[in-house]
Amino acid sequence: MPLSRRDLIRSSAVIGGAVALTGAPAFTWPSTADVVAPQFTTLEATLVRGPAGPLGYTPVVTGPGQEHVVREQIFASAGANRAIGRTTMLAFAQLTDVHIVDPESPLRLEYVDRLDDTYGGGPTTGGLLTSSYRAQELTTTHVADSMVQAINRVGVGPVTGANLSFAIQTGDNSDNCQFNEVRWNIDVLDGKKITPASGNKSTYEGVMDAKNKDRHYWKPVTPAGQQPDFYKSKYGFPDAAGLIEASQQTYTPEGLNIPWYAAFGNHDGLVQGNFPLGIALRAVSTGRLKVDALPPGLSEADVFSALNQGKIDPLLGAISPASARIVTRDHNRRQLTRRQVVNEHFNTTGTPKGHGFTAKNRLHGTAYYTFDAGPIRCIVMDTVNPNGYYEGSLDQAQFGWLKGVLALSKTKYVMVFSHHTAESMVNPIIGTGLNAQPRVLGGAVVDLFLANPNVIAWVNGHTHRNQVTPHKAPNGHSGFWEINTASHIDFPQQSRLIEVCKNGDDTLSLFGTMLDHAAPLSHGGSFATSLHMAALSRELSANDPQLDVATARGADGDRNVELLLNDPFA
């Protein structure tokens, strides 16, 4: 099975701005709902790519605000008086696919990214490896801090003005399930001082410095006597003197001022989001050899073979003195098991302690749980298959637990959270021993939710794109909305604010409003704060030559939306 984080982005074309839906699409039109607090959200203005320069590189500019698009695909109609008597049940923020990266880790595989470069006109892997390296990966903690500042600044649901009750991360909070990445993520949300560097913290030891003559990586400064890298010569990427040094500076993030919860993603539990943990991989991660160029003799066919077999060893085994550099050992780069990741969430100054994970999760090494927010029961699933492969599924024990929770929640509205989408829960790989049981895939999970009319939404990430999908029950009355939100690391680097409202006409409205992080349009030549760093990150991500930016942003009906449902308790 092919391995990628972004092939789902490329596989869904946005045709004529229409909303990608299952079945025949219905008409959509702007919402007439009164908006109480649009300030600082995409209702007021949104950030988009500006006019392209000679080589296609674009700045980020301010575009017009976007109204909520009403969607009625699940039987309920948008009554003209639905806002009369409307009450707010819940308002919260969703963050997803933050991908806190340690760019100096020996266990990263940046060198395979070039197999999806298209500028040479030759064959590529079709996007299979495009997330192995990104020009903006020096800035991931700063983007997370910038998003926290945006959420704190808004503070309320823009439609209703209700205070945000919590924030929830829907997985891939770290990039390579390393201890230091997990800690940086938690500490950014808690507002605890961090130094986002590893190894020799006074010297950068990654692939983008002057020591590396490989032109496939963007160099913030072109080394003397070297030709410009391909990002600059082919796509017009800029110089950014001082970026590397600034990326390793100690700073204190703002920290969320509301409780936050966490879900488990494939990059939180698998090496590079694909490979099961093992002693050999842990040794590489904390070792002294980092591959920074394509190893001699390693072909595209070799890479395909290794990935399709789910084996990372052939890629690491190709390391040679000609393709690797000596780096400083760092025990903090060690991989964490699921139980260890859960335990780290109890080492926190934020609330709630454990961030949703329970004592039972710590005991059994599981990562699924529930919590209540007013009249709504929130179910957090763990969709990561520990046997490997980046797509998701559930084990039988969790599926049985899920059925039991739903059976005990008949009197509550239910919202479900996970990393994977229904469409991406296609991972059937089984393990050995107790794990040698069939995995539960997305179709069975959808059917279970449809059999419970009080399930109103499934909120997730993984695909790095904005997409909203209706799921209709065969009873001709009920169903639920699947709300899939883009990532922090790839453009448009957005989160989503979600408000759940009970209308006066026996319907529900779920409002989703996209939120750009708080960084300015441009860093202005300065890297003095995390917001300056995040501004450059957004700009670099908007120009990623391997990313389909339009599809990642989604159509109008995938961004700011009002999603209608019949009230299951009317």
Burial 86-107 (b: 16+ CB within 10 A, else e): bebbbbbbbbbbbbbbbbbbbb
pTM for the predicted model, two decimal places = 0.92
Instruction: Count the residues in the chain.
Output: 570
Alpha helices in 416-569 (DSSP H): 442-450, 530-542, 549-553
At residue 118, the pLDDT reads 57
At residue 307, the pLDDT reads 65
Which amino acid is located at 276 in the chain? P
Rounded mean pLDDT of 263-270? 97
Instruction: Say which range, 19-28, 169-178, 533-542, has the weakest mean pLDDT.
Output: 19-28
Q: How confident is the model at residue 129 (pLDDT cuts 50, 70, 90)?
A: low
Burial 25-42 (b: 16+ CB within 10 A, else e): eeebeebebebebbebbb
Q: Please name the residue that has the structure tokens 């700045």.
A: 59
Rounded to a whole number of angstroms, the CA Rg of the chain reads: 23
CA dihedral 316, 101, 549, 380 (to 10 degrees): 100
At residue 249, the pLDDT reads 97
Between strands 60-64 and 69-71, the pairing is unpaired
At residue 317, the pLDDT reads 60
Helix (H) or strand (E) holding 47: strand 45-49
At residue 33, the pLDDT reads 64
At residue 314, the pLDDT reads 65
At residue 8, the pLDDT reads 29
Q: Which of 31-45, 393-407, 544-558 has the highest mean pLDDT?
A: 393-407
Sheet strands side by side (includes 260-263): 29-30, 69-71, 561-566, 507-516, 494-502, 87-95, 167-170, 260-263
| CATH superfamily assigned to domain 7-566 | Metallo-dependent phosphatases (3.60.21.10)
Sheet strands side by side (includes 376-380): 369-373, 376-380, 413-417, 455-460, 479-484, 467-472
Nearest to 449 by CA among 74, 171, 172: 74
Work out whether the CA dihedral 171, 175, 178, 182 comes out positive or negative: negative
More confident residue, 211 or 169: 169
pLDDT digits (tens, 9 = 90+) for 475-522: 989 999 999 999 999 999 999 999 999 999 999 999 999 999 999 999
Instruction: Give CA separation, 140 vs 174, 531, 536, 551, in Å.
Output: 10, 11, 11, 22
pLDDT surpasses 90 at 20: no
Q: How confident is the model at residue 132 (pLDDT cuts 50, 70, 90)?
A: confident
- Indicate the DSSP class of residue 70: E
For the beta carbon of residue 526, count every other beta carbon within 10 angstroms.
14
Q: How confident is the model at residue 205 (pLDDT cuts 50, 70, 90)?
A: very high
Q: How far is residue 570's CA from residue 567's CA, in Å, rounded to a whole number? A: 5
% of the chain exceeding 70 in pLDDT: 87
Rounded mean pLDDT of 405-415? 98
At residue 211, the pLDDT reads 86
- The answer to whether 269 and 386 have CB atoms below 8 angstroms apart is yes
3-state secondary structure of 250: coil
Instruction: Say which range, 12-26, 65-79, 383-397, 428-442, has the weakest mean pLDDT.
Output: 12-26
At residue 14, the pLDDT reads 26
At residue 122, the pLDDT reads 45
Residue 391's contacts (CB-CB under 8 Å, 6 or more residues apart) are: 1, 266, 385, 420, 424, 425, 426, 427
pLDDT surpasses 70 at 254: yes
Q: How confident is the model at residue 7 (pLDDT cuts 50, 70, 90)?
A: very low
% of the chain exceeding 90 in pLDDT: 74
Rounded mean pLDDT of 378-406? 96
Q: How confident is the model at residue 111 (pLDDT cuts 50, 70, 90)?
A: confident
Q: How far is residue 57's CA from residue 65's CA, in Å, rounded to a whole number? A: 24
Between strands 87-95 and 69-71, the pairing is unpaired
Instruction: Say which range, 119-123, 316-320, 524-528, has the weakest mean pLDDT.
Output: 119-123
At residue 116, the pLDDT reads 67
Q: Which of 16-25, 67-76, 301-310 has the highest mean pLDDT?
A: 67-76
pLDDT digits (tens, 9 = 90+) for 283-326: 889 999 898 877 777 766 776 677 666 666 666 666 667 778 89
Report angle CA 30, 34, 36 to the nearest 5 degrees: 125
Residue 425's contacts (CB-CB under 8 Å, 6 or more residues apart) are: 383, 391, 392, 393, 394, 441, 442, 445
More confident residue, 301 or 246: 246
Q: How far is residue 351's CA from residue 349's CA, in Å, rounded to a whole number? A: 7
Work out whether the CA dihedral 182, 188, 192, 197 comes out positive or negative: positive
pLDDT surpasses 90 at 438: yes
Rounded mean pLDDT of 546-570? 94
Instruction: Give CA separation, 44 vs 37, 49, 67, 266, in Å.
Output: 9, 17, 9, 34
Query: What are the domain boundaries of the chain?
Result: 7-566
Rounded mean pLDDT of 187-192? 98
- Indicate the DSSP class of residue 524: T
More confident residue, 182 or 281: 182
Nearest to 271 by CA among 316, 237, 320, 233: 316
pLDDT surpasses 90 at 403: yes
Phi and psi, residue 44, nearest 5°: -85, -45
Q: What is the mean pLDDT of the chain?
A: 89
